[in-house]
Amino acid sequence: MIQNILMAGDLKDKLSAIKQGQTAWEQVNQEQLLQSMLAHIGSTDSELRDTYIYSSFYEWILEKNLLDHRCLTKLWHYCLDHLLLNGIEEEESDGVFTRSFTTLLVALILARDLKDNFLSQDSIEEGQTKLLAYVKAEMDVRGFVPGKGWAHSVAHISDAMDELVKNPKIKKTAYDDMLHALWSMYLQPHYIFIHDEDERLLVPIFAMLERGLAQNEVVQLIQQMPATLSTLKDQLDEANFYIIRFNCKTLLKSFFIQTNHQAQYASLHQSIVTCLNEIN
């Protein structure tokens, strides 16, 4: 799909001109522009990646609805087939920016599909399968990377999962797998989450609870935390154990706040209280 792409500086200039109203959308080579945006979606230039490429996609897909269904469907399949797992086997490489910002584009397309219903059932199921595979495979969970800006893979995939859960074409039988995959992605021993990843992760979990996920599935994960931490304490060095314990407590505290005084989540809330008391 990608050919004859613009250099990063030229792409930034064109997107800037469109944003500032100096150039109309109808005046540009739209195919070349979109292909260039895909080619640079994981640029380590945070201004190009975030301020220009992502924000332009957001504006064109959700605010102005400039991209037709055929175009959005092509973007959908290209993201899933060529970008989502880019460099997934590499450890803390720049490939995380491509993967993470691809999930944001996927989220935008899903949000538009919720309004317009243009993606087929098969396309949604493919997205569900591939996003779940990505969550299970992603090991680079850095938040803000000095000199390169936001990677934030946990937050961004949470946004995509939330949009997926809200789509009526999704198979609800996948909720359990999605819950466990997101939970495991968060509870890792290598990176301390300090950029609101806990709050973003809870959004798709609450979306699933509101749409039929049994509370007991979440309660069981919470009840298992103390035993899991006890086991990990014997397996990890002190620093890595501290990280996973810190992340567990942060997630539980956010969960506590969001279930407090919510009658429908009373049993879930109590399990959180019990767990926090056990691991403190």
pLDDT averaged over 10-residue windows placed end to end, the chain, 280 residues: 85 97 95 97 98 98 98 98 97 97 99 98 97 96 97 98 97 94 92 97 98 97 96 96 96 98 96 95
pLDDT of residue 151: 98
pLDDT of residue 280: 80
Provide the residue type at 113 as one letter: D
State the Cα torsion 102-108-112-115 to the nearest 10°: 130
pLDDT of residue 1: 57
Provide the residue type at 164 as one letter: L
pLDDT of residue 12: 98
- CB of 61 closer than 8 Å to CB of 109: yes
pLDDT of residue 4: 85
Q: Are strands 144-145 and 149-150 parallel, antiparallel or unpaired?
A: antiparallel
Q: What φ, ψ does residue 148 adopt, rounded to 5°? A: -130, -15
pLDDT of residue 173: 92
Q: What is the pLDDT of residues 162-178, one digit of tens each?
A: 999 999 999 899 999 99
Q: What φ, ψ does residue 66 adopt, rounded to 5°? A: -85, -20
112: exposed, middle or buried (C-beta count within 10 Å: 0-12, 13-18, 19+)? buried
134 vs 144: CA distance, rounded Å:
20
| Location of structure tokens 């092509």 | 74
pLDDT of residue 2: 59
121 vs 271: CA distance, rounded Å:
37
